[in-house]
Chain A
Amino acid sequence: MMESNSGPQEAGRCGSRLRILAIGRNPKRTLVRAVVLAMACVAFFKLALLPVRVDGISMMPAYADHSFNFINRLPYLCHEPRRGDVVGVRLNPPVGWSPPHIMFLKRVVGLPGEGVSFVKGRVRVNGRLLDEPYEKWPCDWNTAPVTLGPREYFVVGDNRTMPKEQHTFGKTDRSRIVGKALL
C-alpha cells in the first residue's frame, strides 16, 4: 500500500518543485520581474552597450573581419576620447540619444587642437612621431598636416596596407563618436 501511494506523491512533489523553479512561488511577481528584466536588457543593449559586427579589414589585425564586439557609450559620459581608443563613429549627424545602425570602427590618433599628418606612412602629431604599437603592417602614405578644431578628433584604421584613397580616415566631430570598443 505504502509503495503504491509514494509514486504519485513523489511525482507531484517533483512537478511542484519544477513549477516553482520555472515560474516561482508567485507567478504574477515572476512575470513582473521577467518583464522588468527584459525591458532593462533591451534598454541597456539599445542605449548603452551596442552590439556590433565588424565588417571589413580596416582595423586588422586588432579586429578581424566578421568579428563581434560592443560599442560602450558609457566611458565618454565621464571623460573625452583618448589617443589610442578604438571608437565607433556614426556616419550621419546624431539625433538625440538614438544609436546608429552603422558605424565606422577607427582608432583615435589626434586630439582637439592638434596637427596630424602622415609622413612615409607614420603618423605625426604636431610634427612628432606617434608610437603606434598596434600598427603591424607598414605603409607609405603621405598627407598634408590637418589642424583639428576644438571638438575634432583624427581617426584612422590600423590596417593601412591599401592605398590611402581606399581607406576612410580623417577628422570627425566629437558628436559623431558614439562610444569606445569594449573588447
Chain B
Amino acid sequence: MKSIFNQRSLLWLASLLALIGAYTAIASAAARPDLIPPSQDIAEAFSALVSGPSAKPAPGEMPAAEMSGHAHHHHGRSTDQVDTLLQAGVTLQASLGVSTLRVLFGLAVGLPLGILFGLWMGWSRRADDYLHPIYVLVRSVPPLALITYIMLWLGHSEAHRLIPIVYAVAVTAVIPTYHGVRDLAAKYLVAARSLGARGSLLLNKVILPAAGPAVLGGLRYSIAIAWMTAVGAEMLMADDGMGNLLVGGGMWASRLQTRSDPAVIIVGVIALAAAGWAMDAVAQAATARLTRWVR
C-alpha cells in the first residue's frame, strides 16, 4: 500500500517538475518575454508584487525603463502593469486577502440562503410547484450580468461586488440541498412519519442528517463559483482584489487597456489556484469530519 502511494506521489512530483521544466524550455525557445515570460520574470513579478510599492525604483528612473518598450525588458520588472499596480499600492497578499474576504462573505450569506431555500423546496411539494419555475428563471441569469443594474440601485459601493457573489453561491447551493431532501423523502421520510415522527424531531433526526452529505457535497461547487464571481466582479468594477490585479489596476472604463504583463497575470492565476485549492481542502476536511458517520 505504502509503495503504491510513494509511486503515485513520485509520478505526481515528476509531472509537476516536467510542467515547470517544459514551461521554462518553451519560454526560452520562444524568446518572447512579452507573451511567454521566462520563469525568472514571473519570480521577479512575484517578488515585486509581494514586497509592494516600497521596493520599486526611485521615480526618476522609471520613465527610462518604460521608454525602453515591452519587447525587451530583461533588466528588472518595470512593465506598465507592475508600475500601475505598484503606484496604486497594490500588493499580492492584500489583493488576495480582499478577494478571500469577499468570497467568505458570499459563502457566509449565500450558503444559508440557498440551503434554506433548497430545504423548503425539497420538503414541500407545494412550495416546489410554485417556487421551482421562479428558481429556474433566477438561476439562468448569470450573476455578473446584474452588476451594473445593482450599481444603479445601490450606488457605487461594495454592495454591487458582494451581491453577485451571494447570488451565485445561493443559487448554486439550492440544487444539492433540494436533491438531498428529495432523495431521502422516498426512503426514510415515509418510515419516520409512519412511526410518528413530526416537526423538529423529523428535521433534526431524519432530514438534516440524511441530506447533510449532499448539502456539504455542494459546498465545493459553491466555493468554486464564489471565486469565479468574485474575480469577475473585481475585473469589471473594483479598485482592489485579485480581479483588479489581473486587469492591471486603475478603475472603470477601458480595463485591459494598460498593456498587460503576462508575468503578473500568471502570478495572479497561480495565487488564485492556490487559494481555491486551500479553501477546497479545508471544505473537504470539514465535510469528511462532519459526515464521518456515513461510512
A-B interaction: no
A residues sitting closer than 8 Å to B (CB atoms) are none
